[in-house]
Amino acid sequence: MALARKRYAIALGAGAVALAVAGGPALADSPKMGGVLNFVVGSKIPTYDGHRESTFGMIHPIRPFYSLLIRVNPENPQSTTDYLCDLCEGALPSPTDDGKTYTFAIRKDVKFHDGTPLTAHDIKATYDKIVFPAEGIISSRRPQYSMVDSVEVTDDYTVVFNLKYPSGAFIPALASPFNFVFAKKDLEREDPEGKDPLYGMKWHQTNINGTGAFTFVQHQPGAFVEGARYDGYHHEGKPYLDGFKAISAPKTAVRLNAIRGGEAAIEFRGFAPKQRDDLVGALGDGITVQESDWNCQLLISINHKKPPFDDVRVRQALMHAVDRWSASESLSKIAIVKTVAGIVFPSHGLAIDNDTLKTYVGFWPDIDKARDEARRLLKEAGAENLTFDLHNRTVDMPYRILGTWLIGEWKKIGVNVTQAGVATSEWYAKHRAGSHDLGIDANCQSVINPVADVGKYTSRSSNPANYSHYEDAELDSMHDQLLRSGDPAEQATIMRAFEKRVLNDEARYGMTLWWNKINPHRSYVKGWKIAPSHYLNQHLDQVWIDEG
Amino acid sequence: MAVTTGAYVSEEVFERPPLQTRLWAIVRAQPLGIAGAFIVLVMVLSALFAPFIAPYDPELNDFGAMLVPPGASHLLGTDEFGRDIFSRLVWGARTAMLVGFSCALLGSTIGLLIGVASAYFGGKFDILLQRVIDIFIAFPSIILALTIVTVLGTGTQNVIIAITIPLIPNCARVVRSSALAIREIPYVDAARALGFGHARIVLRHMAPNVMAPYLIMMTTFLGQAILAEAGLSFLGLGVQEPIPAWGLMLQGGAQEYAESAPWVPIFPGVAISLAVFGFNLFGDALRDLLDPKLRQQ
């Protein structure tokens, strides 16, 4: 164990130095061409359609076949504001018309894998499907584009997005890794049997034709997906790899052993601290560890429909009882959580500073004082002998670990809680139905887009993802102002007021800790940089293999 | 002469030796059974007096004492939450006994009633009931329990239901075979001739006469139920954290820390093995004592 930690420290230290000094492992050496990257994926592929799906089980094996209009800078994925053109040309366009019009020049040298040249019409057809889907077509991130009024093509290589109002959330939303650009002709395909008028819109659920760095070779369901280098790729000199093989391995132990045994080089979602230590302990310098804050957070949903949780004093008391600051140190040793922060991703410009956070309910640094206050509030609310169920998923990492931790924290103020673990489908169903007391809820996003991400805390009537089941017109109004504000200073002011109401004044939702992404991988994998989301930076065009 | 001898022999046979002698005879005849009974007794006492035996609150997280090896402060070490493993084992005995005894008692008693009723009524009722039992027996017990707990949800109460249901047909089948023989004994006909109701005949005249298989099945079920509870908890479908339960203690962190902190999985594993071993030994001994054929051997 001690040896493993020491080796891990060396590996992580070396990685950190490389990242800080040389700008990352990829820049430390010249990329080499060739090789096949084998990686393991812990989830399944529901369909190939990125617009429809929300799982890394689809993104990791399928994203390399597609391009986006714009993407997070692959060399700087930790930045929350650095976006680059992928299928557009030059620098990102500045908005015109008081921030309501974005005009993109589309590259002229791009072809789909079937040889069809890409034009602005393909971009429009793609975004029309995402923003204005036909009835019967699922577009999972459609609400993020509420500011988009229309998408138009002014010539074959120019596409214009007209917004209803200026919004700082637009560009990050555009960079979503799920926004695969499809060919218009594929989206307009007709059903050979003449039965389904939406045949073309559904074609990508079972077929692949993109402009990404790799072409589709085969998919053996439940086993692997294979891709080969696309020689006509539009980013010159890339990709470096000859191909990739995404191996399906739902069990953590299998994924871990695949890397340990050399059958796979990397797993892009992340491992737990102990698994990282085991790999480093076993392989030493053969493993490089990259770590990052993760745009994922487990929340405490407090069902406002159920007394006594409709009483703000009870909600505040329950939040006061939880010692997040010390948990950051201890839980990060056993679970994929680490950073204490508010509702905005910790390193984003809109995130709260720690001094202010420490004045909020649930974040007081003096935990004894906080728990005294919790007991006082419970007594005042007549809820001293409170007992309830904590609705949770039967998923260990990190759901059950955090559930167990929270129950221990609440016990310290005399509240008795039973953990009610259920399968994922029931976890969603009960949360949606509002039949739980308190629950462990999740807010995991891809591109860091706080203005869109905090939509989670708006009223239930307009936001089905609100599992605390409250109505709060003031929060809705503030969120609407946030969406319409293009000025960062104004956004920050509104965000602070919004966050204070959610966490402190009304204790609508409880925070736990932000996730910590840990990616131990074979050291011969170069060029891949950890992003703050397991959905990001998965196009693999910058990855290369250095096997001497 | 023959009559006199018979009377003499009869007097000798029915003279009961003193209790001490009889107990000693049992100890000599069933040493393993006594060892099993001792293990069972320790488990039961642990469960009953857990608050007095356990040095720590079994659910108390103490992150300052994460994964402490066995030693003076923590006899059997601590887990990844800093919880004292000895205290969790002692309190876990309560969960094991609660689930074990509840499932065994319910499973064997319901099975007894179904088995006796099936044998007593016979005919189409018996055939139909036995086919239903066949269906249940066709499923492996753990698969059936998994299905039930998936439908009902997790938690102690649902785990008891999930484990009990697969036990019922097993007991019913065994009891029925004994009850079929009893049904043919004249006193059952006599009871019927006296106009007793079916319920009275089944409950007061037949059921008491199948106590031997009933008790044997019950002790066997105890071990099985403890093992099933541990299995369900291990799969995350049984008792939920932070309730101390042996199977749960083998789940999650125990797998992860098996190499670096082996005390985390070893002690609950030993507790489960000992409990099942103890109940099986005890059950075997009980069977030997209650079965006239085995007793004669």
Does any domain span residue B63?
Answer: no
Q: Are residues A207 and A356 in the same domain?
A: no
> Which pair of tokens denotes residue A202?
């559904």
Question: For B252, which residue in chain A has the nearest alpha carbon?
Answer: A396
| Cβ neighbours of B207 (radius 10 Å) | 21
- Report DSSP state, residue A515: E
Kindly state whether residues A44 and A169 are assigned to the same domain: yes
Residue A67 neighbours by CB under 8 Å, 6+ apart: A86, A87, A110, A180, A181, A210, A211, A212, A234, A539
Q: What residues are paired with A390 via a beta bridge?
A: A419, A438
Bond into A307 cis (ω within 30) = no
Rounded to the nearest 10 degrees, what angle do helices B19-29 and B31-48 cross at? 110
Q: Is B279 left (phi over 0), alpha (psi -120 to 50) or beta?
A: alpha
Instruction: Supply the pLDDT for residue A531.
Output: 96
The CATH number that applies at residue B244 is 1.10.3720.10
- DSSP label of A114: T
Q: Which of A257, A419, A435, A518 to mutate to test the interface with B (most CBs of B within 10 A)?
A: A419
**Does residue A500 sit within a domain?**
yes
Q: What is the pLDDT of residues B208-239, one digit of tens each?
A: 888 888 988 998 899 899 999 988 888 878 88
The pLDDT, as a whole number, for residue B295 is 59
Q: Are residues A231 and A323 located together in one domain of the fold?
A: no
Q: Is the domain of A534 the same as that of A396? A: no
Predicted complex ipTM: 0.76
Q: Measured between alpha carbons, how far is residue B42 from residues B35, B36, B101, B102, B274 in Å? A: 11, 10, 15, 18, 11
Predicted pLDDT at B296? 59
Which runs of consecutive H residues, i.e. helices, occur in A49-119?
A: 56-62
Query: What pLDDT, on the 0 to 100 scale, is given for residue A547?
Result: 80
Any domain includes B162: yes
Establish if B67 belongs to a structural domain: no
Q: Are residues A113 and A235 in the same domain?
A: yes
Contact (CB<8Å) A418/B154: no
Does one domain contain both A193 and A254?
yes
Residues in contact with A393: Cβ distance below 8 Å, sequence separation at least 6, in sequence order? A399, A400, A421, A422, A423, A424, A427, A440
Q: Is-contact A86 A106, C-beta < 8 A?
A: no
Contacts of B255 in chain A (CB under 8 A): 253
Q: Determine which helix (DSSP H) or strand (DSSP E) holds A328, and give its type and residue range.
A: helix A324-331
- Count how many pairs of residues, chain A against chain B, have C-beta atoms within 8 Å: 68
B157/B107 Cα distance (integer angstroms): 14
Helix (H, G, I), strand (E, B) or coil at A135: coil
B163: closest CA of chain A, how far (Å): 18
Which of B86-100, B161-175, B248-262 is least confident?
Answer: B248-262
Q: Which residue of B has its CA nearest to A271?
A: B256
**Mean predicted confidence (pLDDT) in B60-87:** 94
| Statement to judge: residues A360 and A330 lie in one domain | yes
- Comparing CA positions, the residue from B72, B59, B97 lying closest to residue B223 is B97
Q: Which of B61, B243, B256 sits opposite A408 (nearest CB)?
A: B61
CA distance B89 to B75: 11
Is A273 within a domain?
A: no
Using CB atoms, pick whichever of B81, B154, B256 lies closest to residue A422: B154
Residue A68 inside a domain? The answer is: yes
Which one of A396, A399, A416 would you mutate to disrupt binding with B, by most B Cβ within 10 Å of its Cβ? A396
Same domain, A304 and A249: no
CA dihedral (A486, A489, A493, A496) positive or negative: positive
Chain B residue with minimal CA distance to A326? B63
Tell me which residue has tokens 């094996």: A61
Q: What is the pLDDT of residue B297?
A: 56
Determine how many CB atoms are found less than 10 A away from the CB of residue B193. 9
Examine the pLDDT at B16 and tell me if it is beyond 80. Answer: no
| CATH code assigned at A458 | 3.10.105.10
Mutate to test the interface with A, among B57, B63, B88, B243 (most CBs of A within 10 A): B63
Judge if A314 and A184 occupy the same domain: no
Find the residue in A nearest to B240 (Cα). A419
HEC string of chain B equals CHHHHHHHHHHHHCCCCCHHHHHHHHHHHCHHHHHHHHHHHHHHHHHHCHHHHCCCCCCCCCHHHCCCCCCCCCCCCECCCCCEHHHHHHHHHHHHHHHHHHHHHHHHHHHHHHHHHHHHHCHHHHHHHHHHHHHHHHCCHHHHHHHHHHHHCCCHHHHHHHHHHHHHHHHHHHHHHHHHHHHCCHHHHHHHHCCCCHHHHHHHHHHHHHHHHHHHHHHHHHHHHHHHHHHHHHCCCCCCCCCCCHHHHCCCHHHHCCCCCCHHHHHHHHHHHHHHHHHHHHHHHHHHHHCHHHHHC
Q: Which residues pair with A389 in a beta bridge?
A: A418
**Domain span holding position B278:** 41-54+76-296
Q: Residue B256: its chain A contacts at CB < 8 A?
A: 272, 274-275
Co-location of A361 and A441 in the same domain: yes
Tell me how many domains chain B contains. Answer: 1
Kindly determine whether residue A420 and residue B252, on different chains, have CB atoms separated by under 8 Å: no
Query: Is there a cis peptide before residue A239, judged by omega within 30 degrees of 0?
Result: yes
Please indicate if any CB of chain B lies within 8 Å of the CB of A418: yes
- Residues A260, A300 within the same domain: no
* CB contact (8 A) between residue A396 and residue B259: no
**pLDDT for residue A431:** 93
What's the rounded Cα separation, in Å, for the pair A261 and A123? 43
Q: What is the distance between the alpha carbons of residues A4 and A282, in angstroms, rounded to a whole number?
A: 8
pLDDT of residue A4: 41
Q: Which residues of chain A have pLDDT under 70?
A: 1-28, 548
User: Is there a contact between A361 and A504 (Cβ–Cβ < 8 Å)?
Assistant: yes
Q: Do residues A43 and A57 make contact, with C-beta atoms less than 8 angstroms apart?
A: yes
Q: Which domain holds residue A74?
A: 31-265+524-545
| Arithmetic mean of pLDDT over chain B | 87
Does the pLDDT of residue B54 top 80, yes or no? yes
Is A476 near chain B, with CB under 8 Å? no
More confident residue, B173 or B255: B173
User: Which two three-digit tokens encode residue A80?
Assistant: 């929350």
**A408–B60 C-beta distance less than 8 A:** yes
pLDDT score at A14: 41
Q: Which two tokens mark A350?
A: 């809109």
- Residue A504 is classified by DSSP as I
Same domain, A460 and A420: yes
Contact A411 B60 (CB under 8 A): yes
3-state secondary structure of A326: helix
pLDDT higher for B150 or A262? A262
Q: Do A420 and B260 make contact, defined as CB atoms within 8 angstroms?
A: no
The CATH number given to whatever domain includes residue A531 is 3.40.190.10
A284 lies in some domain: no
How confident is the model at residue A29, as a pLDDT? 75
**Residue B272 domain flag:** yes
Split into its structural domains, chain A has a count of 2
Q: Which of B63, B240, B257 sits opposite A419 (nearest CB)?
A: B240
Cβ-proximal residues to A56 (8 Å cutoff; 6+ apart), any chain:
A41, A43, A268, A269, A534, A535
